[in-house]
Amino acid sequence: MAWIDSLFKRMVELNASDLHMTSGKKPMLRLDGDMMPMEECPILAPDQMRQVLNEICPEASRRQFESESDTDFAYEIPGLARFRSNFFVDHRGPGAVFRVIPEKILTVEDLGLPPAVLDFCRLSKGLVVVTGPTGSGKSTTLAAMVDWINKNRSDHIITIEDPIEFVHQDHKCLINQREVGGHTQSFKRALRAALREDPDIVLVGEMRDLETIEIAIETAETGHLVFGTLHTTTAASTVDRVIDQFPADRQAQIRTMLSTSLKGVVAQTLCKKKGGGRVAALEVLVVNSAVSSLIREGKTHQIVSSMQMGGKVGMRLLNDSLLELVKQGQVTPEEAHLRAVDKDGLSQRLREIGMGLAGSTVGGAEAPLSGIAPSPSAAGAVPTPDASFIPGQQADQPAAPLPQDGANPHYEADPFEQFKAKKGRR
């Protein structure tokens, strides 16, 4: 077992979304959106950090990390979870961030996706874009949508990801999952090749450049259903972002193509739930004839007005979703206000229902990163037992020597060994 596997197991136990490893600092978890130190873990020196990371790094990714100082790959612990991994180098030394990808794919029912989003899964052609900031749950939403299609349609699905996150088993569909770097050179190359692979549905993990976006639109125009992601915050800004990727002399043509191929946009953000956990607030744009005309005529600034009047076809603004979560008692008004894009509009609507803000930062401020000793019994808190160690290293002593070349690179000590022993004595 790799030394870091114990951290991954603890991460899953606490339902953390991310594990941050930084040279010279204790590992940190993102719990319900907040960064919290793992007090029971040791501080790793840069040379120790490099060895811990190399222990789980595939050879191709290791070579890329050594030559380019960053790399991405997926690491799996069977029976536990997969982890999207990014290695990097900063001023302290090597580091990494790991995002947990549960083995179980959440369904559309688990996520409570609105009917309009499910309708996108029933389309036979067109482009559907799922957007949101990094860490907003786009991959989880897309995985749920693909899972629904897999169980309810008989199609050929091709996914292009970097790296492969959720692994889908074939049900009624045939699913081919390709990883950028391992199975193809780039998104655009794999997307162009997909047209010769008889797909019904293509999922593009990230539409990160002009050529990829252009091919995705062309693929949607030629009778395929394409799902893609972008890092935008609202549905209207997603349309502008796609158009603005192209040179000015081509934007009129792209507006025309997008007006016929774009079928919907789902923009989402994660909010902290009362009592722990997180829930997604969704903004949904359904491209009907009115929205299509606005895109074609370059009047995207009027899309918000169309969405306000499009509730009957499933459209909703982010503020609508945030207000609904507040009324349901799932999130506080302060948390909803923190996540809103149109903060003034949400504040007014909260006052109208008698739920004004208690303070502009209440419920949204990050927990301090130091000076905290969470109680082991507190819900969601990271335990703070006596410091564990790497062989030969106490928390207040110099870093331990690393194994010699050719020695077993696995550390013998479990980083949670003392925590487990202490817990067993209680």
DSSP codes of every residue in 27-71 = -EEEETTEEEE-TTSPPPPHHHHHHHHHTT--HHHHHHHHHHSEE
Q: Checking DSSP bridges between strand 93-102 and strand 18-22, what pairing results, if any?
A: antiparallel
pLDDT of 418 reads 44
Listed in order, strand segments (DSSP E) in 155-252 are: 156-161, 174-179, 201-204, 225-230
H-run or E-run covering 355: none
How far apart are the C-alpha atoms of 155 and 393, rounded to whole Å? 56
CB contact at 8 A, 143 and 104: no
> CB under 8 Å to 306, separation ≥6 — which residues?
290, 291, 294, 315
- Cα torsion 402, 404, 406, 407 to 10°: value is -60
> CB under 8 Å to 425, separation ≥6 — which residues?
none
pLDDT of 415 reads 56
- Cα torsion 254, 257, 258, 259 to 10°: value is 120
How far apart are the C-alpha atoms of 326 and 315, rounded to whole Å? 19
10 Å Cβ neighbour count for 424? 7
Set out the domains of the chain in order of their start, with CATH numbers.
Answer: 5-103+373-410 (3.30.450.90), 108-316 (3.40.50.300)
How far apart are the C-alpha atoms of 424 and 76, rounded to whole Å? 28
pLDDT of 40 reads 86
**pLDDT, tens digit only, all 426 positions of the chain:** 899 999 999 999 999 999 999 999 999 999 988 999 998 889 999 999 999 999 999 999 999 999 999 999 999 999 899 999 999 999 999 999 999 998 889 999 999 999 999 999 999 999 999 999 888 999 999 999 999 999 999 999 999 998 899 999 999 999 999 999 889 989 999 999 999 999 999 999 989 889 999 999 999 999 999 999 999 999 999 999 999 999 999 999 999 999 999 999 999 999 999 988 899 999 999 999 999 999 999 999 999 999 999 999 999 999 999 999 999 999 999 999 999 999 999 999 999 988 877 744 333 333 333 332 333 333 333 433 333 334 334 333 334 444 333 333 444 455 555 444 434 444
Quick one: which of 98, 50, 48, 91 has its CA closest to 73? 98
